[in-house]
Amino acid sequence: MELNRLAQDIYQNAKNKGFWDGPDRNRLIPEKIALMHSELSEALEEYRNKHAPDEIYFKDGKPEGIPVEIADLIIRALDFCAGYGINIDEVMEAKMKYNASRPFMHGGKLI
């Protein structure tokens, strides 16, 4: 995987734009987690506004839609990983390996 490399590029851009400024990086943790959550909420709002899951449209030159909000989520998540030294390639490989070992429809919940 090459998520770590992508995460570093994303982090460097965010840092250059001032999103990592401030003396207390730990104070940023809940803020950054909340912002990841907000991207999912924005994707849900796109769906509620009757946009298809694969629809990308432009509003005043800015890309919009569920795929764009998912991209924003991934950008925020990878920024978080690089900013806090998470080796996301290693974690993804371990988690995917574990998930492959789980039984069919594990958990038994409706959704």
Residue 106 lies in a domain: no
Residue 23 lies in a domain: no
Residue 101 lies in a domain: no
- Give Cα separations from 59 to 23, 38, 51, 56 (angstroms): 36, 20, 14, 10
Residue 109 lies in a domain: no
Q: What is the pLDDT along the chain (111 residues), one digit of tens a residue?
A: 799 999 999 999 999 999 998 878 888 999 999 999 999 999 999 999 999 999 999 999 999 999 999 999 999 999 999 999 999 999 999 999 999 999 999 888 887
pTM of the entire predicted model: 0.91
Residue 78 lies in a domain: yes
Residue 44 lies in a domain: yes
- How far apart (Å, rounded) are the C-alpha atoms in residues 111 and 104? 14
Structural domain boundaries, residue 72: 3-17+29-93
CB 19 within 8 A of CB 105: no
